[in-house]
Structure 1
Amino acid sequence: MTSHGSVPRDAKFQYRWVADELRKEINSEAYGPGERLATQEELASRFGVSRATVSQALAILRKEELIVTRQGSGSYVASEPDETRQVPAPTGSPEGGVWAVVSERVPPVLLRPYLVEAFEANVVKLDVFSMTTESLAARVVDQKDRIVAGEVSPPRSITARLLLPNTESTALAIPRQVSGEDDPRVRARLGGILHSHVTMLRSALFELRRLKLVEEVDVQVRLVPFAPQMKLYILNNRVVLQGFYIPEEGTATLPDGEEIATYDAYGTGATLYPFRASADSTPEQAGVVRAARKFFNATWENLATRAAF
Structure 2
Amino acid sequence: MSRDVANLVSRVGHVATIGRMELDRDDPRPPYQQVAAALRAAILGRTFQPGEQLPSQNELATTFGVARMTVQQALRIIRDEGLTVSRQGSGVFVRERAARPAGLRPHIERIFDAEKVTIDFVGFTSETLHGAITEPLDKIRSGRLTPRDIRIRILLPDMSRPLALPVAVSGDEAASARARARSAAISARHVGAIRDSVEELQDMGLVRSATVESRVHGSAPLFKAYILSATDVFFGFYPVREHEVRDGDDRLATYDSLGRDSELFHYTDDGDPESPGTQFVAQARLWFDSMWDTIATKVTP
Map 1:234-273 onto structure 2 (within 5 A).
234-254=227-247, 256-268=248-260, 270-273=262-265
Q: How big is the shift at 1:283?
A: 4.7
SS in 1 for 2:230: coil
Once residues 104 and 213 of structure 2 are traced to their aligned partners in structure 1, the CA distance between those partners, rounded to angstroms, is 21
- In structure 2, relative to structure 1, the CA distance for the partners of 1:176 and 1:41 (3 Å cut) is closer
Match of 2:221 in 1: 228
Q: Match of 2:290, as an amino acid?
A: A
Q: Which residue pairs with 2:80 in the alignment?
A: none
Q: Which runs of 5+ in 1 are unaligned?
A: 1-24, 67-77, 79-106
Aligned to 2:12: none
Secondary structure of the structure 1 residue equivalent to 2:152: strand
Give the equivalent residue in structure 2 for 1:36. Answer: 47
Alignment deviations for residues 64-88 of structure 1 (CA, whole Å, 9 cap, x no partner): x11xxxxxxxxxxx2xxxxxxxxxx
Instruction: State whether residues 178 and 263 of structure 1, in contact with CA within 8 Å, keep that contact through their aligned partners in structure 2.
Output: yes
**What is aligned with 2:202?**
209
Q: Which residue of 2 aligns with 1:125?
A: 118
Matched to 2:198, the amino acid is: L
Change (3 A) 1:189 1:118: same
Map Cα deviations across residues 124-172 of structure 1 (whole Å, 9 max, x no partner): 11111011111111222211110111222x111101111011112x112
Residue number in structure 2 paired with 1:174: 165
Cα RMSD, aligned residues only? 2.8
What's the CA shift for 1:202?
0.8
Pairs aligned (count)? 234
TM-score, length-normalised on structure 2?
0.70
1:139 pairs with 2:132: yes
Q: TM-score, normalised by structure 1?
A: 0.69
Q: How far apart, CA to CA, are the structure 2 residues paired with 1:111 and 1:284? A: 19
**Alpha-carbon distance change, 128 to 304 in structure 1, aligned in 2, over 3 angstroms:** same
Do the aligned partners of 1:140 and 1:204 also contact (CA within 8 Å) in 2?
no
Question: Which amino acid in the other structure matches residue 95 of structure 2?
Answer: L
CA distance in 1, matches of 2:142, 2:261: 26
Could you tell me which residue of structure 2 aligns to residue 307 of structure 1?
A: 299
Greater RCO between the two (CA within 8 Å, min separation 6)? 1
TM-superposed deviation, 1:248: 0.2
Q: Is the 8 A contact 1:164 1:221 kept in 2?
A: yes
Q: Percent identity?
A: 29
What letter corresponds to residue 130 of structure 2 in structure 1? A
Offset at residue 41 of structure 1 (A): 8.3
SS in 2 for 1:158: strand
3-state DSSP of counterpart to 2:252: strand
1:298 maps to what in 2? 290
Q: 1:10-89 maps to which residues of 2 (within 5 A)?
A: 29=37, 30-32=39-41, 33-37=44-48, 40=53, 42-43=55-56, 53=90, 58=93, 61-62=95-96, 65-66=97-98, 78=99
Contact 1:171 1:226 in 2 (8 A): no
SS at match of 2:239: coil
